[in-house]
Structure 1
């Protein structure tokens, strides 16, 4: 599956994870818009909040550090930065977003262009899309390949089982453009910057 989306900056890593889904500065750039090409093996639906994830760019890793530190070198806390910070700090034009370490879905996020002094009204915006999202719990890239092989071959021993298990009349090349637009438009509320409130003393 491949998407091209225009998004407004700033966008937090946690916000991206909530849509799909680095310690950085607090600089806000509300007048910038960014266009990303996202070539992904899993669609950016709302993943469970407990699902592990990491962003990889340059030599850096961003994720949720293990509070006990039992799993080797810890990633930078992704809750304290934004994707724009990662791009600016590393100079990377490609970011890998790894989601669900069991199935190892790899979202390849490519920065195509940074637009300065543009309005963020109406963003995010779906510009283009190809391919269909793989079924949930299909078993990662290898499992998805096995699934496609089975449903595409009536003589395959798992054909009937996979046909009944997966979405009805699944075609990896057919996309529901309207449904994708609705999903991307809904992200505008999730990704909207929150106003800080001052507590009364």
Structure 2
């Protein structure tokens, strides 16, 4: 189905041995991030809009500009600060987190986060959240909007200190956290 995408990214898969653990995403990770987003959208964890071809082209652009330039065009702004991180095991990404700046000064959104199905329940999600938050100054406010099927993520974030925030959104629940 995504042969054009696989061909486009296949030349970027091989590369030097990478260190294990949490690290900023590189262009070697964009295929993993893209495919993870599509898989989680298919299960209701992310917007189903990501399954539309036009949205996928925009998503690829967002992933690339986030990795290369640290900015990302969003529905809120033509340019928002953006950071992508991955956890690497055996030279392969197994999870990612994506943080974007919101329209409120100093506030960040834990925009997307996913862990490969075969690497879940190993603390990788918790590592992604805690290490991502640690990359920002103390007292940074983070929000996370979760779709209903994301109950495991919801429970993890609550255990990590996130608090529920009132929201008018019908399809998502919102949590908030201020870093120490």
For normalisation by structure 2, the TM-score amounts to 0.27
* Structure number with larger C-alpha Rg: 1
Higher helix share: 2
Tell me which of the two structures has the higher relative contact order, counting C-alpha pairs closer than 8 angstroms and 6 or more residues apart.
1
